[in-house]
Amino acid sequence: MEVLFSKDNFMFMLNGAFMSLVLAVCAVFFGLILGTLGAASKLSKHRLLRWIGNIYVEVIRGTPMLLQIMFFYIAIPIIYQSLTGNRLSANPYICGLIALSINSGAYSTELIRSGIQGVEKGQWEACETIGLNYFQTMRYVILPQAFKRIIPPIVSEFITLIKDSSLISCIGARELLFSAQILGSRTFDLIGPLLVAACFYLIMTITISYISRHLERKLAESD
C-alpha cells in the first residue's frame, strides 16, 4: 500500500491545487470580458442587445454549474460532429474552463452593471460635454471607476471559482479534488487525501482574501 504523506504525493496534490488555481484565474479573466460585454448589453439603448444580455444572465444563473459543465462536455463533440462529420474527443479542461468562464461571466455581468450604474451621472454628462463618444466614455472614464468599486465582489467570485473548479472532476479533469480521489484510491485512504485537499483550498482562499483586504485598503487610501 502506498504511503499517503510522501514527497511525491504532496507534489501530486500540489499540482492539482495549481491546476485549480489556473482554471479559476483563467475563468475569472474570461468571465470579466463576458461580464463587461453583458453589462454593456443590459445597459444598451438597443432592445435586442438588452434582450440578449438578460437571457444570458437568467439562463446561466438559473441553471446549476454542474449541468453547464456536463452540457459543454457532451454537447461540443456532438455539435462538432454534426457540422463536420468528424468525431471530436472533448478535452475536459477546455470544456470545464468554458463552462466556468460563461458562468462567471453571468455573475460578473450583474456586478459590473451595478458598478457602472454606481458612477455618478455627472461623469457621463462631463464626457458628453468634452465630446467623448459612448465607447470612449466607457473605456476611459466609467469602466475604470466601476471596476474599482467591484473589486471586493470580483475577488469573492474568484474564491468561489477556486472551489467550484472541483466540479469539473466529474468529467475527468485532474484538478485538486480529482487528485485527492486518485490518491485515495492508491493509498486506500479516502479521508486523508480529502483533508489534505481541504487544507489546500483553505490556504488558497484565505491567502486571496488577505490580499484582497490589503488591496482594498490601498485603494481606499488612494481615493
Give residue 164's pLDDT band: very low, low, confident or very high (50, 70, 90). very high
Q: Is the pLDDT of residue 222 over 70?
A: no
Domain contains 169: yes
Domain contains 188: no
Residue 144 CA from chain centroid, whole number: 20
Task: Give me the chain's average pLDDT, please.
Answer: 86
Give residue 3's pLDDT band: very low, low, confident or very high (50, 70, 90). low
Whole-angstrom distance, CA of residue 159 vs CA of residue 175: 15
Percent of the chain having pLDDT more than 70? Answer: 96
Domain contains 20: no
Tally of domains within the chain: 1
Compute CA distances 10 → 15, 55, 168, whole Å. Answer: 9, 44, 21
Q: What is the DSSP string of 127-149?
A: HHHTT--HHHHIIIIIHHHHHHH
Of 82-86, 91-95, 135-139, 172-176, where does mean pLDDT reach its minimum?
135-139
Domain contains 185: no
Domain contains 7: no
A 10 A CB-CB count for 29 gives 13
Q: What is the CATH number of the domain that holds 87?
A: 1.10.3720.10
User: What is the span of the domain harbouring residue 29?
Assistant: 25-177
Whole-angstrom distance, CA of residue 182 vs CA of residue 13: 10
Q: What grid cell was written down for 1?
A: 500500500
Domain contains 92: yes
pLDDT of residue 1: 44
pLDDT of residue 204: 94
Secondary element (H or E) of residue 170: none
Q: Is the pLDDT of residue 10 over 90?
A: no
**DSSP assignment letter at 190:** S
Domain contains 202: no
Q: What grid cell was written down for 164?
A: 467550484
Domain contains 148: yes
pLDDT of residue 223: 56
Whole-angstrom distance, CA of residue 40 vs CA of residue 57: 13
